[in-house]
Structure 1
Amino acid sequence: MLELLRRYSGPYRKYFVVGPACKLIEVLFDLFTPLVIARMIDRGVGARDVHAVAMYGLLLVAMAALGILFTLVCQKMAALASQGMGTVIRGELYEHINELSYAELDRFGTPSLITRITNDVNQVQLAVALGVRQLIRWPFLAIGSMVAALLIDVKLGLIFLVSTPLIGIVFWVVMARCVPYFKQMQQKLDRIALICREGLSGARVVRAFVREEHERKRFHEAAADQTQTAITVGRLSSTLNPVTFLVMNLAVCAILWAGGVQVNVGNLSQGQVIAFVNYMTQTLLSIVYVANLVVVFTKASASASRVNEVLHARPSITDAGNGLVELPCASEAAGMLALEFEQASFAFGEGAAAAVDGVTLGLPIGVTLGIIGGTGSGKSTMVSLAPRLYDTTSGTVRVMGKDVRAWLLEQLRHVVGIVPQRASLVTGTIRSNLQWRDAKASDEGLWQALEVAQAAEFVRKLPQGLDSPVEAGGKNFSGGQRQRLTIARALVGNPLILIMDDSASALDFKTDAALRRAVKRRSEEGRASGGLPLTTVIVSQRVSTVRGADMICVLSHGAVAGLGTHDELFETCELYREICLSQFKRDESASVKGVC
């Protein structure tokens, strides 16, 4: 918590000074109030002086009015400081999350990051607001009341010395047991967020398989688990107020008993006893509120540590020290490899099995590579190494002859356009989604990309064309339309390498074939115009999608099981032949070599 304050409180320091200062003035009025009441009783009520009662009453009203005024100023300072810091923390946290590489995002998980950027930051905001408003008030009021009471009568002050440590012991015992539960509560909120995200984003699948009851049960179990923890910590913390009030009321009874004796012998006045009781009440109430503040600050401390954990996470992939790579011209590109893997391996974390295992292959400029293999064979992970979404754990990946770790990330990801396996669009328009790779792309360039992606026809039929709205996740488009739009997005800005990671799975065979022809034509046009032809990597489960590729890579458990053309692999690679035969009828097996 202190780290966040040091880091983000700079622009709001004046609020941290003005707010507590105003609260301090209010506390001074609170400390003088019992003395004024004592004078009212002794000089007004006791002497039956109505004028004195009225004068002291007006003084109390004036003190209360000024106290309210300073309280309102403090409240405003607290709101400005807490909301300002919360906004900055949330903004920087979101920005930092977007800088993290895939490895860090996988480690935290999306639901946990959402909880940290919302609930955890809210807890920090609450602690900052209460810190400005209450952190000065209650400790100062407790100490001031104790000092004022001792100045009235030292003997009665011994009651303070007995009751205050009792409340402190109760507070320490309860809080020592509560603190671990606060951290558990935040972790269980992460679990609830995960289940909510899965259930809501996959609502159609849940209903299609009639799994509503199962999802309700999962959510109920997670919510009940979190509720049980909250109830446990609530029960523990709820003992604070009753016990402290019990001690306080017993102390007040003791003061009234001992004070009554002192009044009878003439050592104290009635007003002084009432003032002493007021100071005693203020002191013990202050301790109760301090206990509640500690509960809030403990929660905030747990949340702040979770926020700091994300802020301290350093992206494993950066372009620090890298410079712009000079791209080859058409004459220099002859014989150059557009994409090269040299004993490239990757594993998700230490001790995990290799998702990509010693892959070695070279892809010349303008060539099409097809990648095929079973589910979990490492296809998507392998192509993610090219735009450096992940870094190899061993081996090297080169783009245009240059190690990907030497490229500036922005330049590398402009040269390498990737269409992810899951078609993802964001709220906006078709135009705004297509311009992600190139914000200055012209309408002509956008339409060209749509033509190649086989999306131009349905976009033209929309009333607003390129300015047609896109709902969150592109839910107002079919699966095939979303895929074609994401392909078009990757083509905007003329990448030199296009990676399509099973991005045509929702397309029919006719549209898929038309897409591949259009991509090949785009590559030939680049060569004919004197530029660099488009190099294409196609990941697919369909033999029909990769069979026309210049080179096909067959993956099995992250390793290359076969590399060559369709005909070569059908003769030499048993796994590829099995995939081919599984996608065609048995009676076609004799001619599948030529058909596949």
Structure 2
Amino acid sequence: MIKLFKQLKPFSLPIAVILLLVFLQSMGDLYLPTLMSDIVDKGIVQQDRALIWKIGGFMLLVAGSGALCSVIASFLSAKVAMGFGRNTRSRVFSHVENFTLTEFDKLGTASLITRTTNDITQVQTVLMMMLRMMVGAPMMMIGGIIMAVSENAKLSLVFAVVIPVLVLAISYVGIKGLPLFKANQLKLDKLNLVLREHLVGIRVIRSFNRIQHEQKRFSAANRDLTDTAIKVNKIMALLMPMMMFVMNFSMIGILYFGGIRINNGELQVGSLMAFIQYAMQIMFSLIMVSMMFVLIPRASASAIRINEVLDMVPEITDPEVKTSLADQPPQPALRGFVEFKNVSFSYPGAEQSALSDISFSARPGEVTAIIGGTGSGKSTLLSLIPRFYDVVEGEVLVDGDDVRQLTQEELRAKIGYVPQKAVLFTGTVNDNIRYGMKDATDEEIRHAAEVAQAMDFVSEMKDGFDSEIAQGGGNVSGGQKQRLSIARALVRKPEIYLFDDSFSALDFKTDAKLRAALKGETLESTVLIVAQRVSTVMDADRIIVLEEGRIAGIGSHSELLASSDVYREIVSSQLSEEEIA
């Protein structure tokens, strides 16, 4: 947590003001019992009304000043804590944006959401209390002991017994609580994961009548979290009764021994009253510390999880110094030229390679299609071009540059990507298409929609291009999502188009019309298409056939029919003999 609090440097001035205000408030609170003692011993006992009014008025001034300091300190503490929470959330979000898919797989989406929201809130809450309590409580305790000793040193020996007992109790609770708080946060991650899967997959769950199964999964995760929370709270619940027990017995001891000393003429009534007030302040400061020890273990566990995200270094980073093209051999003046040279790739922890020894080139003005069975590595191959993953062996070149020598922003600016699973964002149709190019004009958006065959359904929507898209595109069909995703890539006018099985939800007629319209739009761009349908790829300039991560054939449709058994098998499974002929 200390590491995380190093980010408080921008708030140095308000923190200094808070410390000063808390100090002044503490000094005022410590001075009040002495003033009250003077009222009793000098004013009431000696029946000096003028002195009572004088000291009483001064007490009101001190109490009012302390209250004002407390209000301002509380306001500034809240402002600092909220600002720290805002900055930390921004840091985590910005850092997570740089993560590769590997880091997302390691941490999990549900856990990242919990860490960015719940965990940061825990630390933010503790910071606000620390600024008020962790500074004020030690001041009150130390000052209270000094003032109590000054009132009566012998009676102060009560604290020599009480304080060690309370410190031991607080330490015990803190040591026992920290591991359980860590476990609690992990179980909250698990609950979020189950809940997220349930909400995202509700259609599948209902279609397979698995609602009861999911209820059992949720109940198990919920019960596990509840049991851990109860265990934590049982330990924490011990603290307050122990504090009150010790506090009450210390009051009995103070009153007993104080009464004896008053009876012997060694102590005045006002001094005993002041001593009791100081004892209450000492005990109250220890209660505040104990409250912090209830919250600190939880916040500490959260801080560890936040730091785990911030300390995670993305596997894919931009080069420190990009190799200048002037230092390289002259390359053909091509825009969008893609080349794979002996590329191999395997996922972290996988037993075998997803791709092995892949070599081919794709030129501007050509359509290169990739086809193969499920799990043959088609989508994996495509994801290496925008550097969603880095190759294990070999090189992926774009315009003659190894993609690892380009910045990610520079590389991806050349690419228009349409993912296998179409993703839309909340906002209007306009917003979703303009996501591809933020300064696209209305004419360019309309043209992209026409090419993507989206105009027919967009024009039928209530507000046309200003119609709202629900979260995740829940109010449009799968085919409509795909067409809007394609329009988003088209409006970018990139050097390279990557279509990752992006026509699978389209009917054959729309598929054919879309591919025909694309030809006119991509005359100067490189197009790579991953597809399952033979009808989608058969007109491509070059077809790459993948089998178990290796190239089983490269050529045109007619060439592969003559030379590739794998391709013939795929074609015969989809087309009739008349269509093949």
Q: Shorter-chain-normalised TM-score: which range?
A: over 0.9
On the 8 A contact 2:336/2:526 being kept in 1, the answer is no
Pick the aligned partner of 1:543 from 534, 538, 551.
534
Question: Structure 1 residues 460, 579: closer, same or farther in 2, change over 3 A?
Answer: same
On the 8 A contact 1:372/1:554 being kept in 2, the answer is yes
- Between the aligned partners of 1:186 and 1:23, the Cα distance in structure 2 is 33
- The equivalent residue for 1:481 is 480
Name the stretch that deviates more: 562-571 or 97-106. Answer: 562-571
Superposed CA deviations along residues 476-531 of structure 1, whole A, max 9, x for unmatched, are 222111110100111113222211111111111111111122222333xx3xxxxx
CA drift at 1:58: 4.1
CA drift at 1:396: 0.9
Q: State the SS of the aligned residue for 1:239.
A: helix
- The equivalent residue for 2:353 is 354
CA drift at 1:332: 5.0
On the 8 A contact 1:36/1:56 being kept in 2, the answer is yes
Q: Note the 1:110-121 alignment, pairs <5 A.
A: 110-121=109-120
1:140 matched to 2:127? The reply is no
Superposed CA deviations along residues 195-217 of structure 1, whole A, max 9, x for unmatched, are 22222223333333333222222
- Between the aligned partners of 2:264 and 2:422, the Cα distance in structure 1 is 89
On the 8 A contact 1:192/1:222 being kept in 2, the answer is yes
- The equivalent residue for 1:530 is none
1:251 matched to 2:250? The reply is yes
Q: Note the 1:479-518 alignment, pairs <5 A.
A: 479-518=478-517
Pick the aligned partner of 2:544 from 542, 553, 573.
553
- Between the aligned partners of 2:79 and 2:541, the Cα distance in structure 1 is 63
On the 8 A contact 1:483/1:503 being kept in 2, the answer is yes
- The equivalent residue for 1:343 is 342
- The equivalent residue for 2:6 is 6
On the 8 A contact 1:453/1:485 being kept in 2, the answer is yes
- The equivalent residue for 2:384 is 385
On the 8 A contact 1:367/1:550 being kept in 2, the answer is yes
1:566 matched to 2:540? The reply is no
Residue identity (%): 40
Aligned AA (1:565): S
On the 8 A contact 2:336/2:495 being kept in 1, the answer is no
CA drift at 1:111: 1.3
Q: State the SS of the aligned residue for 2:368.
A: strand
- Between the aligned partners of 2:73 and 2:324, the Cα distance in structure 1 is 53
1:365 matched to 2:364? The reply is yes
Q: Note the 1:432-511 alignment, pairs <5 A.
A: 432-511=431-510
Q: State the SS of the aligned residue for 2:126.
A: helix
CA drift at 1:97: 1.6
1:68 matched to 2:67? The reply is yes
Structure 1 gap segments, 5+ residues each: 527-532
Aligned AA (2:533): R
- The equivalent residue for 2:172 is 173
- The equivalent residue for 1:529 is none
Question: Structure 1 residues 196, 324: closer, same or farther in 2, change over 3 A?
Answer: farther
Q: State the SS of the aligned residue for 1:372.
A: strand
Question: Structure 1 residues 208, 368: closer, same or farther in 2, change over 3 A?
Answer: same
On the 8 A contact 1:77/1:132 being kept in 2, the answer is no
Name the stretch that deviates more: 11-20 or 299-308. Answer: 299-308
CA drift at 1:53: 5.1
CA RMSD of aligned residues (A): 2.4
Question: What TM-score does the superposition give when structure 1 sets the normalisation length?
Answer: 0.90
- Between the aligned partners of 1:290 and 1:90, the Cα distance in structure 2 is 27
1:207 matched to 2:206? The reply is yes
Q: Note the 1:37-52 alignment, pairs <5 A.
A: 37-47=36-46
Aligned AA (1:555): L
CA drift at 1:63: 2.8
Q: Note the 1:92-103 alignment, pairs <5 A.
A: 92-103=91-102
Pick the aligned partner of 2:567 from 576, 581, 584.
576
Aligned AA (1:553): I
Aligned AA (1:61): L
Superposed CA deviations along residues 26-84 of structure 1, whole A, max 9, x for unmatched, are 11121122222323333345456666555554444333222211111101110111111
Count how many residue pairs are aligned between Structure 1 and Structure 2. 576
Aligned AA (2:170): F
- Between the aligned partners of 1:235 and 1:374, the Cα distance in structure 2 is 56
On the 8 A contact 1:43/1:49 being kept in 2, the answer is yes
- Between the aligned partners of 1:374 and 1:226, the Cα distance in structure 2 is 42
On the 8 A contact 2:345/2:393 being kept in 1, the answer is yes
On the 8 A contact 2:479/2:505 being kept in 1, the answer is yes
Name the stretch that deviates more: 232-241 or 450-459. Answer: 450-459
- The equivalent residue for 1:300 is 299
- Between the aligned partners of 2:454 and 2:563, the Cα distance in structure 1 is 38
Aligned AA (2:574): Q
- Between the aligned partners of 2:266 and 2:351, the Cα distance in structure 1 is 81
Q: State the SS of the aligned residue for 1:100.
A: coil
Question: Structure 1 residues 86, 352: closer, same or farther in 2, change over 3 A?
Answer: farther
Question: Structure 1 residues 556, 50: closer, same or farther in 2, change over 3 A?
Answer: farther
